[in-house]
Every structure is written in C-alpha cells, then in structure tokens.
Chain A
Amino acid sequence: MNEVSGFALSSSLGLTLVVLFGIVWIAFGWYLGRANKTHEDFALAGRNVGFALAAATAMATWVTSNTTLVAPQLTYQFGVWGMVGYSFAALGLILFAPLAARIKRLMPNGYTSGDFIRLRYGRAAWWVFIIISVVYAFGWLVSLGMAGGILLEALSGLDYHIGMSAILLICVGYTLFGGLRAVIATDFIQALIIIVGVVLIAWFLIDTVSLESIHQEVKSNHPQLLDLLFPAAIMFLFNNIFFGLGEIFHSNVWWSRALAFKGKVAFKAYLLGGLLWLPIPIVTGFIALAAPQLGIFPPSADMVGPMVAAEVLGKIGAVVVFIVVFSALASSLDSLLAATSDLVTRDIYHKYLKPQASDQHLLRFNRYSILGLGIVTWLFCLPQIATLGALLNFAGAFVASTIFPVVLGLYQRKLTGTYAAAAMALGTLSGLVGYFTIGFYVAALLSCIVSAALCGFGLLTSQARFDWQQLNEKEEPTS
C-alpha cells in the first residue's frame, strides 16, 4: 500500500493509466471503423468474423467485472462452491454453441434476438422479451459503469465519479467509431490481457503465501468455506447455472455475435470460448481465500480480490489488477453498448417506428443510440445506487424466464406466442417473489421452473406447427 495516501496506486498513476487506455482504444476503434460502409458492417461486422476473433470475443465478453470482482466475493462468502459454482456459468457459452449454429442457419438475414422473438412468437411475446432485455442490459450496463468507478477509487483513491465517467467515455468512444468490428477486435486484445493478468496474480500469490498455508488457515478458522455440503452454496450453484443460461440465451450480446460470425464458425467459437472461460473463476476466486490469512477484511466484499492482489504484490500487483479489471469491464461494456443499441435501432426504431428508414439513416441512428445509452447509463451511475452483486442477482429473476421460450422456439414448432409470453412474464414475477421473500440465490431457479412449467403445458395443449421459413426475413431495399 502507498504509505502516504493509503491506496495501492497514486491518483495520478491511476488517471494516467485510464488516459493511456482511452487514447489507444479510441484510436483503434476509429481505425477499424473506417471499413464500416453499411449498417450491417457497423452492427454485425459484415457477418464475416473468423474463428480466432470469434472465440476470443465469446470468452472475453463473458469475463466481466463479475468474474474478476464477484467470483472472489462469492468464494469469500460461499467458499469452494462459490468459485466452482461461478465457473459453471461456462455452461451458458457451451450450451449456446448448438443454438448459435441453428440461429445462423434459420436466420441468415437476422440482426437481433428481438427479431427472432417477433418473427417466432409475435408482438405480445416481443414486448415482454424487450422489457426483460432492456432491464437486464441496463442493469448490467449500470453495474459495469459503477464497477469502473469503484475499482479506480479502491485502488488509487481517484474520485468514483471520475473513474466511472472515464470508463464510460472510453467504451462509448470506440464503440461509436468502430461498431461491432471494434468491439470484437478490442475483445481479442482484452482477452489476452485478462488471462495473462489473472495467471500472473495467481502464480505470485501461490509463490508468496502457498496453497498449503491458505488451506490450513481456512480449515482452522473458516471450515465452512471448504465444506462440500454447504447448503446455501449448493443452492447458489444451481441458481448460477440457470442465471448464466438465461443471460446468454436471451441476450442480444450473444445473438448478434452468432449472426456476425462467418459460415460455420459460431458453434466451435462458442464451444471453445466456454472451455477457455471455465477455469478462470477458480483462478480468480481462490485468491479470496487468502484474505483472512493476510488480515484483509474488505469494506465491500466485491473488492476482496483486488485487495488481496494489491496486498501480496504491492504496486505492481495493483497495476496488474487495475489493467485486468479495466479490460474485463471494457470488454463487456462495449459489447452491451453495441448489442443494446442494435436492439433499439433494429427492433424499436426500424421495425416498429420507422420501417422505411434507409441503410445510412439506420447507421446514423445506431450511433446516436450508443451515445444516448452511454449518457443514460452515466446518469444512473452517478448516485452509486447498489452493489454489483445485488444488481447482478436481481437480473436473474428476469433472464432465467427466457431460457425455455428461446430454446423451444428454436427447436419446437408447437410452442405458441401466447404461452411464450405468459412463461416469460409469470416466470419473471415468480423469480422476483422468490428474490424478495427467500433470497437472491433462488430468483433465477424459481423463474426458470415456472417458465418451464408453462412452456411444457403449452406444448402439451398446442396444435400449432410453426413454419421455420418465417424466420428468414428478407430486407426490403430502401433508398
């Protein structure tokens, strides 16, 4: 720790790192954006992303602030099951692989997940889905913006509002210039930075403290953290699986990528991305178990990972943590900005308000949407309203209700829009009731179960036979 200020980094060094990152990413976004001539180029990178960039963007986008901040937090609270449970979220990416291949096959001209719900289930289900998507995307955007401010403040003492504003400005900047192409290219570099950084931190921690002494200390003073039958932790494990599936299966962040990857790349990219992601929460999570031994009792549980790394590795460790978490935040923030602005542009503006809009008009509107989303997110981040974990778990009630409507919608002709809409709406309500009456660790589970029951009933009673050709919507040329 810095002896004068009490922070691992000085404010001026923290600010210098932010400014350097900002200049490099925005310049890179501008450079890549020169290839964007049409709205399809901007929103879907010309539907031509190769395997290497596709796998890296799948992995990097899923490594969010939650993987670097919340995985250690959950390990600190739930022990071994916290980190193992978190790593099970890789199932979301792995199981999305066959869905992504099918999405690409059924909707070669599609743009968003909203397109699929509208064409497959009709307007009523589309409205429910859009509300869920916007609540989730916005909750995640705000949590990422806040994480940027919290991180900078914890590591360097820089004012929360400056850090939060800086990361939003940087991500809005390069997404605005480069679109999905910039998002995916920066994700590749950010993926490398994140992985090398977490491996370095873990390696130095083991070298300094040793796994034996961490295990001994936890076993003596906090044995419940090593208990494989810790009930709340096991409940968390299942809840997290459904939460992860819901997040990925419904979100346009993942659908727009599936549609942007070239040819048959989608399946193997998501599969590899998931396998590469699987061990990361355990590597970031076990760090938290060293906290009691080091006498670290963080004021906010989501800062346990960075505080342990900064304590063990000193200033260099703090710089590495800073760069890793900043990259993790940026790789998710840019994806959300791009995917949510696509939803606003395509689903709400183009398909609902202005069907005759030209391609160049949509390209301009998409850029305005990114800017608008950035400004609204910034306004919501100003009061620092909730902790990262609270925002994250609240969203579980919403997204888990979409798992069965999405999967059955892609593979089953019988499920109708009425049942899909009811499953998403009532599933979400049940999840919220569970969240407020039982606890955050059952919200996604309850939401998914109720939604599955309604979808099952819908399948049993339906005589409908959906024609898959209806998903292959052709664009009318407009001037």
Chain B
Amino acid sequence: MIMGLTAFSTLVWVCLALTACAPLILLGLWLKDFLSKQLW
C-alpha cells in the first residue's frame, strides 16, 4: 500500500507547523517563569 501525495504532504506540513510553534511555546514559558522568578 503506497502512501499518496496528499497524505505525505499533510504529514510533513502538519509536523513542520507543530515544530515551528515549539520555540514560541518555550520562549513564552521562559518569560512567564522569568517574570515570576520561577526559573530556578
């Protein structure tokens, strides 16, 4: 059973979008911890 173009493209684009969101999430959490002095 061969994976079609639509499934292949969707898989790659969804994963790329999720990965691109990660730095924003991490920086947002860092800022929250930093402002509340909870980093360490």
Report which A residues bind B (CB closer than 8 A).
45-46, 48-53, 55-56, 59, 80, 84, 87, 181, 188, 191-192, 195-196, 198-199, 202-203, 206, 211-212, 215-216, 219, 223, 226-229, 262, 272, 276, 278-280, 282-283, 286
**Are A226 and B19 closer than 8 Å at their CB atoms?**
no
Check A56–B26 contact: CB distance below 8 A: yes
Residue tally, chain B, CB below 8 Å to A: 28
A50 lies within 8 A of B40 (CB): yes
Sample 30 A-B pairs with CB under 8 A, ordered by A number: A49-B40, A50-B33, A52-B30, A52-B33, A53-B40, A56-B30, A59-B22, A59-B26, A80-B3, A191-B22, A192-B26, A195-B20, A195-B22, A206-B12, A206-B16, A211-B8, A211-B9, A211-B13, A215-B9, A216-B5, A219-B2, A226-B3, A226-B8, A227-B2, A227-B3, A228-B1, A276-B25, A279-B18, A280-B19, A282-B12
Known: A48-B40, A226-B8. A53 touches B30 (CB 8 A): yes
Residue from A50, A228, A278 within 8 A of B3 (CB atoms): A228
**What is the predominant secondary structure among interface residues of chain A facing chain B?**
helix
Which residue from chain B places its CB closest to the CB of A181 in the assembled complex? B40
Q: Are B16 and A279 in contact (CB under 8 A)?
A: yes
| Contact between chains at B33 and A279 (CB < 8 Å) | no
Contact with A along B10-40 (1 / 0, CB 8 A): 0111111011101101110110111000111
How far does the alpha carbon of A212 sit from the alpha carbon of B10 in the complex, in Å?
12
CA distance A195 to B14 in the complex (A): 15
Report A-chain residues with C-beta under 8 Å of the C-beta of B15. Answer: 87, 279-280, 282-283
> Once the chains bind, are B30 and A188 in contact (CB under 8 Å)?
yes
Contact, CB under 8 Å: B40 / A215: no
A51 to B30, CA, bound (A): 8
CA distance A55 to B30 in the complex (A): 10
For A226, the chain B residues whose CB sits under 8 A away are: 2-3, 8
Q: Is the CB of B11 within 8 A of A53?
A: no
CB-based closest 5 A-B pairs: A279-B15, A52-B29, A282-B15, A52-B30, A279-B18
Closest to B8 in A: A215
Chain B residues in the interface with A (C-beta under 8 A): 1-3, 5, 8-9, 11-16, 18-20, 22-23, 25-27, 29-30, 32-34, 38-40
Instruction: State how many angstroms separate the Cβ of A228 from the closest Cβ of chain B.
Output: 5
User: Are the C-beta atoms of B27 and A192 separated by less than 8 Å?
Assistant: yes
Chain B positions within 8 Å of A51 at CB level: 29, 33, 38
- State how many angstroms separate the Cβ of B38 from the closest Cβ of chain A: 4
Shortest Cβ gap from A75 to chain B (Å):
11
List, in ascending order, chain A residues with CB within 8 A of B12's CB: 202, 206, 211, 282-283, 286
| CA A191 to CA B38, docked complex, whole Å | 19
Complex CA distance for A212 and B6, rounded to whole angstroms: 9
Partner of B39, one of A53, A59, A196: A53
> Which B residues lie within 8 Å of A280 (CB)?
15, 19
Beta-carbon nearest neighbor of A49 in chain B? B40
Residues of A within 8 A of B1 (CB): 227-229
Q: A52-B32, A215-B8 are in contact. Are A192 and B39 (CB under 8 A)?
A: no
User: Among the listed B2, B8, B33, which residue makes an inter-chain contact with A53, where contact means beta carbons less than 8 Å apart?
Assistant: B33
Query: B20 — nearest CB in chain A belongs to which residue?
Result: A199
Distance, CA A219 to CA B7, complexed state (A): 13
Question: Which listed residue, B5, B11, B18, B23, touches A196 by the CB 8 Å rule?
Answer: B23
Q: Is the CB–CB distance between A55 and B29 below 8 Å?
A: yes
Residues of chain B lying within 8 A (CB to CB) of residue A84: 11
Question: Which A residues are CB-close (under 8 A) to B32?
Answer: 52
* Most chain A beta-carbon neighbours within 10 Å: one of B9, B15, B25, B33: B15
Chain A residue nearest to B34 (CB atoms) is A52
What's the nearest-Cβ distance from chain A to residue B10, in Å?
A: 10
Minimum CB distance partner of A214 in chain B: B8
A135 to B9, CA, bound (A): 40
Q: What would 10 more interface pairs be, CB under 8 Å, given A195-B20, A215-B9? A: A50-B39, A53-B40, A55-B29, A84-B11, A206-B12, A211-B8, A216-B5, A272-B25, A279-B16, A279-B19
- Residues of B within 8 Å of A52, CB to CB, are 26, 29-30, 32-34, 39
Question: With a CB–CB cut-off of 8 A, which chain B residues contact A203?
Answer: 16
**Chain A residues, Cβ within 8 Å of B26:** 52, 55-56, 59, 188, 191-192, 276
| CB neighbours of B30 from chain A (8 A) | 52-53, 56, 188
Shortest Cβ gap from A283 to chain B (Å): 5
